[in-house]
């Protein structure tokens, strides 16, 4: 049995990624119970704070995706309540959740990241969409990748291979956020590298290679079994695998993250990894990448989640 007391798994919320979050929460709850932990799964509703005040948990595992789960808001509440939790603090979350800001930070420490333009919806409309989009294509070239500057699960994201496809991609992006990030698309191997720290410093788990059936790792490819082929560890040269691990740990450290993160990369034909974004509350579903990476490393997911909770509790009560 675990030496942890009562713990909470937070899942659900009101973001576009609610259903994925609920699946992550169920998976984490199941593996923790199997590891002997006393777990309660809770949504973020009006009863949450009174419940934690009446019966403070020993630690909280946040599996909220998008919105309040990753922008630091719920973690600010947990800090107000003096409740330990797994993951980055509110300030680090705010930096990492905003993709253009995260790209600027990792670029400042020497990591490669695709050249990009950040465009708020108001600017897009006020300055004339046609002219602005034309200049973007001239500046960045084709193909491009368009995605919301905040959020995850590839909602509102698309590849643009011709200039004619760009307006529709922007409309689709703005359906999920008020600011678009338009990046130069880097051809290569798509991988995700999870970083965990249970008290001995951040360590990269094996990279997971992502090969979607339709060529695009969109929402359906991420969360529908059989739509994407995964290789864990990724089919990379030892040198490229080491570079990916170093990139993920460097990003994790530069962004001030802790406990757990997942960095998404493209490895180009020369073996250089290019930083795309980082996730401070990685998916934990049956098709998610961190659990695959843990398995590839020979780690039991329940034991890992329990160790993360123990480390969080020790941080508040050393």
Binding-site entries for Mg(2+): 264, 277, 279
* Residue 199 buriedness (CB in 10 A; 0-12 / 13-18 / 19+): exposed
Question: Which of the residues 15, 17, 158, 194 is marked catalytic?
Answer: 17
Question: Which of the residues 29, 153, 158, 261 is marked catalytic?
Answer: 153
Q: How far apart are CA 69 and CA 38, in angstroms?
A: 22
115 catalytic, yes or no? Answer: no
Which residues are CB-contacts of 50 (< 8 A; sequence separation ≥ 6)? none
79 catalytic, yes or no? Answer: no
3-class state of residue 75 by DSSP: helix
Cα dist. 289→125, 162, 174, 211 in Å?
Answer: 37, 31, 27, 12
Tokens read off for 151: 């959020």
| Cβ-contact 245, 76 below 8 angstroms | no
Sign of the CA dihedral with 185 first, then 190, 196, and 202 last: negative
24 catalytic, yes or no? Answer: no
Q: Among 157, 194, 202, 190, which residue's Cα sits nearest to residue 288?
A: 194
Query: Which residues participate in catalysis according to the annotation?
Result: 17, 153, 288
């Amino acid at each position: 049995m675990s030496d942890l007391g009562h713990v909470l798994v937070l899942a659900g919320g009101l973001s576009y990624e609610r259903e994925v979050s609920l699946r992550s929460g169920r998976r984490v709850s199941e593996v923790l119970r199997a590891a002997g932990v006393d777990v309660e799964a809770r949504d973020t509703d009006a009863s949450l704070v009174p419940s934690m005040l009446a019966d403070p948990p020993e630690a909280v595992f946040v599996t909220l995706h998008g919105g309040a789960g990753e922008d630091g808001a719920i973690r600010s509440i947990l800090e107000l309540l003096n409740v330990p939790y797994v993951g980055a603090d509110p300030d680090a979350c705010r930096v990492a959740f905003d993709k253009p800001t995260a790209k600027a930070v990792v670029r400042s420490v020497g990591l490669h990241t695709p050249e990009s333009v950040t465009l708020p919806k108001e600017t897009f409309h006020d300055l004339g969409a046609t002219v602005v989009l034309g200049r973007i294509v001239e500046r960045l070239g084709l193909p491009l990748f368009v995605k919301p500057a905040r959020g995850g699960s590839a909602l509102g994201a698309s590849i643009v291979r011709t200039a004619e496809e760009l307006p529709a991609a922007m409309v689709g992006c703005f359906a999920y956020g008020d600011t678009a990030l338009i990046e130069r698309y880097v051809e290569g191997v798509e991988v995700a590298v999870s970083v965990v720290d249970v008290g001995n410093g951040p360590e990269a788990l094996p990279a997971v290679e992502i090969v979607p059936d339709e060529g695009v790792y969109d929402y359906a490819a991420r969360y529908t079994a059989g739509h994407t082929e995964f290789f864990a560890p990724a089919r990379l040269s030892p040198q490229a695998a080491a570079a990916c691990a170093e990139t993920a740990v460097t990003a994790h450290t530069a962004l001030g993250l802790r406990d757990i993160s997942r960095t998404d990369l493209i490895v180009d034909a020369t073996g250089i990894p290019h930083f795309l974004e980082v996730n401070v509350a990685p998916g934990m579903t049956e098709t998610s990448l961190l659990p695959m990476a843990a398995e590839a490393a020979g780690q039991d997911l329940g034991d890992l989640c329990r160790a993360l909770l123990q480390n969080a509790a020790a941080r508040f009560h050393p």
